Amino acid sequence: MIDDVLLLLKNQLNSYFASLSLDGAAADFPNIDASTGLVALKPDKVNLLLYRMEKEPALGQRGTPGYPSLNINLNVLFVATVTDYQTSLKYLSQTIQFFQTHSNFNPQSAPGMAASLGELAVDIITFDLADQSALWLMLAGAYLPSVAYQVKAVVFGGSASNIPSTPINTIDLQVQP
């Protein structure tokens, strides 16, 4: 489900870039460097990456009593990695403009959005300098033009239909002498 949300954001942003005829503007996911396990931002892109998930306490639990739902907020960072700094700022500005005018997503407003995602709200996150420094330290990189958004609320569970129908009856343990 998290992958569906991020793919939706990426595809919607790419459609917006295409509608503006921005040469070379494209949103994409970064890679993971196999040797270090660190995020490897793709060059000449607006990279989007999930950097935090948190439980949304304000919505409470829904669903059936035996299968309560879990509401999660996703914090997503959009990083412009174009080598021309002015172009990076242009792509970042267009990213902000897109989310300013498209702050809610639902199956009616976002063609191709899975109905199971319900309604998503996107809101900008502002950092103080210490939090921004900590985020970039966590990413093991130097600051690049970027903006963060919180996607509220991705709902997990809430009905017995989300639970696998085949129960686990036994677990085989092999003990090596």
Residue 18's pLDDT is 93
Please state the rounded mean pLDDT for residues 24-46: 93
| Domain 2-157 in this protein, CATH class | alpha beta
Q: How far apart are CA 89 and CA 153, in angstroms?
A: 29
- The overall average pLDDT reported for the chain is 84
Task: State whether residue 86 is helix, strand or coil.
Answer: helix
- In tens, the pLDDT along 57-102 reads 765 555 455 567 788 899 999 999 999 999 999 999 999 999 999 9
Looking at the predicted structure, is the pLDDT value of residue 152 above 70? yes
Tell me the pTM: 0.81
